[in-house]
């Protein structure tokens, strides 16, 4: 259990996570960390099985802790089909079929992978009431410690409440070897946190929404560290990998402390996730989450900058002003790391902003502008600015070998 006292109305925050291990060679400690479990169901995909799953399986087997393993196809998506597969394979059939017997569940689900595998296992863990943990293979998103999982269900992406990981094990050597698009995705997911907290502050003041200053500050601090670390990520510097991993885990922890993704997801996620859903609706495989969110962050920054210049609402101006230096930092970082774009078409870009407003029930600058009757005008106006300042290449141009 990780807990802290607080000055907000909740007074105390706690999550059931028992161990967070971020170190070189961390996977060798898996049997020690998971001692007490004897029927561990290991889930990986073909890629994550190669980089970590096989070794974890060996270790668990040596210690008589393994029930069985399921290896999903490479880059398996967190969709209803894969949730179903994990659920169907979770139990082990006994030799003698007993019509009156309940299925023999594992006593633990161990996800070996990053976003997709983790979200898939987290959902199954929640539904069948079996604890789960994760061996993370890439610092690509902030969902390791989260309490929600965005899952693809038909042509919809729905955010479900799920189980929180009991154990989070990050082997820095493995994470440092992760494909670069996944590292960039982690940066993209993280830079948006400034937007999320600013949206949260605006809603606190306009709608009297619950707000926790301590959580907000923790997220902002982790974001600052991640931005610094991002400059040396491409060289696979272990300190940078550590800072990125820890920042992403902390962000997830804050989601869990809060009980919702409010501290980590605002306008940038609503736009990025709308683009993801548009792909799904068209039968395409969605792009990496953090890459979409990164582009959504640039859009949000320019929406806020424009509002700051034009608004006569002194209170909103004051709130935005605090974040202007952070916006400058993100703009400078983008000039170096050049997060590629997934959406360059103007109509699609604008549709993401307009539909993003209602992606979920969450008050953001998108609703603020809509209520003023200005959302369309703003969406139209920021397109050229975003393309000019932040766009260098598309994801496909930059990473042609990537499957998605
Ligand atoms: Zn609090
Ligand atoms: Zn995210």
Instruction: Point out the ligand nearest to the CA of residue 3.
Output: 1
The pLDDT, as a whole number, for residue 38 is: 92
Distances in whole angstroms, Cα of residue 269 to Cα of each of 248, 266, 295, 356, 363: 15, 6, 10, 8, 12
Ligand nearest the Cα of residue 157 is 2
The DSSP bridge partners found for residue 112 are 135
Q: Which residue, chain included where needed, has tokens 């902030």? A: 142
Average pLDDT over residues 117-121: 95
SS (H, E, C) the chain: CEEEECCCCCCEEEECCCEEEEECCHHHHHHHHCCCCCCEEEEEEHHHHHHHHHHHHHHHHHCCCEEEEEEECCCCCCEHHHHHHHHHHHCCCCCCCCCCCCCCCCCEEEEEECHHHHHHHHHHHHHHCCCEEEEECCCCCCCCCCCEEEEEECCEEEEEECCCCCEEEEEHHHHHCCCHHHHHHHHHHHHCHHHHHHHHHHHHHHHCCCCCHHHHHHHHHHHHHHHHHHCCCCCCCHHHHHHHHHHHHHHHHHHHHHCCCHHHCCHHHHHHHHHHHHHHHCCCCCCCHHHHHHHHHHHHHHHHHHHHHHCCCHHHHHHHHHHHHHHHHHHHHHHHHCCCECCCCHHHHHHHHHHHCCCCCCCCHHHHHHHCCCHHHHHHHHHHHHHHHHCCCEHHHHCCCCCC
Number of the ligand closest to the Cα of 7: 1
The CA distance from 109 to 113, in Å, is 13
Q: What is the pLDDT of residue 36?
A: 93
CA of 68 to the centre of ligand 2 (A): 30
* Ion ligand 1, residues whose Cβ is below 5 A away: 6, 8, 212, 214
How far, in Å, is the centroid of ligand 2 from the Cα of 362? 15
| pLDDT at residue number 286 | 85
Q: Residue 230 — pLDDT band, cuts 50, 70, 90? A: very high
Cα 142 to Cα 121: distance, rounded to the nearest angstrom: 15
β-pairing verdict for 12-15 and 40-45: unpaired
For residue 258, report the distance from its CA to the centre of ligand 1, in Å.
7
> What's the pLDDT at 144?
86
How far does the centroid of ligand 1 lie from the alpha carbon of residue 211, in Å?
A: 8
Confidence of residue 336 (pLDDT cuts 50, 70, 90): very high
How many percent of the chain have pLDDT more than 90?
82
* Residues sharing a CB contact under 8 Å with residue 53, sequence separation 6 or more, in sequence order: 42, 44, 69, 71, 112, 113, 135
What spacing in Å lies between the alpha carbon of 278 and ligand 2's midpoint? 17
Domain boundaries, the chain: 2-176, 180-398
Q: If you measure from the C-alpha of residue 73 to the centroid of ligand 2, how many angstroms do you get, rounded to a whole number?
A: 23
Cα-to-centroid distance, 188 and ligand 2 (Å): 8
For residue 9, the CA-to-ligand 1 centroid distance in Å is 7
What digits encode the pLDDT tens for the residues 238-267?
999 999 999 999 998 998 899 889 999 999
Percentage of the chain modeled with pLDDT above 70: 97
C-alpha dihedral sign at 314, 315, 321, 327:
negative
Please report which confidence band the pLDDT of residue 103 belongs to, taking 50, 70 and 90 as the band edges. low
Question: How far does the centroid of ligand 2 lie from the alpha carbon of residue 66, in Å?
Answer: 31
Topology of the domain comprising 180-398: Dehydroquinate synthase-like, alpha domain (1.20.1090)
Least reliable range by pLDDT among 11-15, 48-52, 104-108: 104-108
CA of 17 from ligand 1 middle (Å) equals 18
Q: How far is CA 152 from CA 53, 116, 159, in A?
A: 24, 10, 9
- State the distance from the centre of ligand 1 to the C-alpha of 205, rounded, in angstroms: 17
Q: What is the mean pLDDT of the chain?
A: 93
Contact assessment for residue 15 and residue 251, using Cβ atoms and an 8 Å cutoff: no
Beta strand 156-161 with 148-153 is antiparallel
Measuring CA to CA, how many Å separate 183 from each of 48, 64, 230, 242, 375? 15, 34, 9, 12, 32
* Per-residue pLDDT tens digits for 304-328: 999 999 999 999 999 999 999 999 9
Distance of CA 350 to the CA centre of its chain: 23
Compute, in angstroms, the gap from residue 204 CA to the centroid of ligand 1.
14
Give the CA angle between residues 361, 327, 144 to the nearest 5°. 55
C-alpha 208/C-alpha 215 separation (Å) is 17
User: What distance in angstroms lies between residue 191's CA and the mean position of ligand 2's atoms?
Assistant: 10
pLDDT-based confidence at 92, cuts 50/70/90?
A: confident
Q: What was the pLDDT predicted at 213?
A: 97
**CA distance between the termini of the chain:** 37
Distance 129 CA to ligand 2 centre (A): 25
Digit-coded pLDDT (tens) for 373-395: 999 999 999 999 999 999 999 99
203 C-alpha to center of ligand 2: Å? 20
Least confident piece of the model among 70-74, 118-122, 253-257, 335-339 = 253-257
Mean per-residue pLDDT for 132-161?
A: 89
Cα of 249 from ligand 2 centre, angstroms = 12
Give the Å distance between the CA of 228 and the centre of ligand 2: 19
Closest-approaching ligand to the CA atom of 297: 2
Residue 8 has φ and ψ, to the nearest 5°, of -80, 180
C-alpha 135 – ligand 1 centre gap (Å)? 28
Architecture of domain 2-176: 3-Layer(aba) Sandwich (3.40)
Give 198 Cα–ligand 1 centroid separation in angstroms.
17
- At residue 95 the predicted structure's pLDDT band, cuts being 50, 70 and 90, is low
């Amino acid at each position: 259990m990780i807990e802290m006292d607080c000055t907000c109305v909740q007074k105390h925050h706690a999550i059931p996570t028992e161990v967070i291990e971020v170190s070189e060679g961390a996977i060798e400690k898996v049997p020690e960390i998971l001692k007490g479990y004897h029927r561990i169901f290991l889930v990986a995909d073909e890629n994550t099985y190669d980089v970590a799953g096989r070794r974890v399986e060996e270790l668990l087997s040596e210690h008589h802790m393994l029930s069985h393993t399921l290896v999903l196809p490479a880059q398996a998506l967190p969709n209803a089909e894969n949730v179903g597969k994990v659920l169907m394979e979770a139990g082990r059939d006994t030799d003698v079929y007993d019509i009156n017997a309940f299925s023999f569940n594992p006593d633990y689900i161990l996800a070996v992978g990053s976003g997709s595998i983790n979200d898939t296992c987290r959902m199954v863990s929640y539904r069948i009431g079996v604890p789960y943990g994760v061996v993370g293979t890439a610092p690509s998103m902030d969902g390791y410690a989260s309490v929600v999982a965005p899952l693809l269900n038909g042509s919809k992406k729905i955010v479900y409440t799920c189980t929180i990981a009991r154990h989070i094990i990050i082997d820095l050597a493995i994470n440092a070897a992760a494909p670069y698009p996944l590292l960039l995705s982690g940066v993209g997911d993280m830079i948006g946190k400034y937007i999320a907290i600013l949206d949260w502050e605006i809603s606190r003041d306009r709608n009297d929404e619950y707000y926790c200053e301590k959580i907000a500050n923790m997220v902002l601090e982790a974001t600052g560290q991640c931005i610094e670390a991002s400059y040396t990520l491409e060289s696979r510097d272990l300190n940078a990998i550590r800072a990125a991993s820890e920042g992403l885990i902390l962000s997830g922890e804050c989601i869990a402390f809060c009980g919702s993704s409010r501290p980590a997801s605002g306008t940038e996620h609503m736009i990025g996730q709308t683009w993801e859903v548009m792909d799904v609706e068209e039968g395409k495989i969605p792009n990496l989450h953090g890459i979409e969110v990164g582009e959504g962050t640039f859009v949000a920054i320019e929406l806020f900058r424009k509002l700051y210049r034009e608004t006569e609402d002194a209170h909103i101006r004051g709130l935005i002003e605090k974040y202007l230096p952070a916006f400058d930092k993100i703009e400078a970082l983008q000039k170096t790391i050049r997060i590629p774009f997934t959406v360059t078409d103007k109509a699609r870009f604008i549709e993401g902003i307009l539909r993003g407003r209602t992606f979920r029930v969450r008050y953001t600058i998108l609703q603020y502008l809509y209520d003023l009757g200005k959302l369309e005008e703003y969406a139209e106006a920021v397109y050229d600015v975003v393309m000019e300042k932040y766009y260098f290449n598309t994801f496909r141009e930059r990473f042609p070998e990537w499957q998605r």
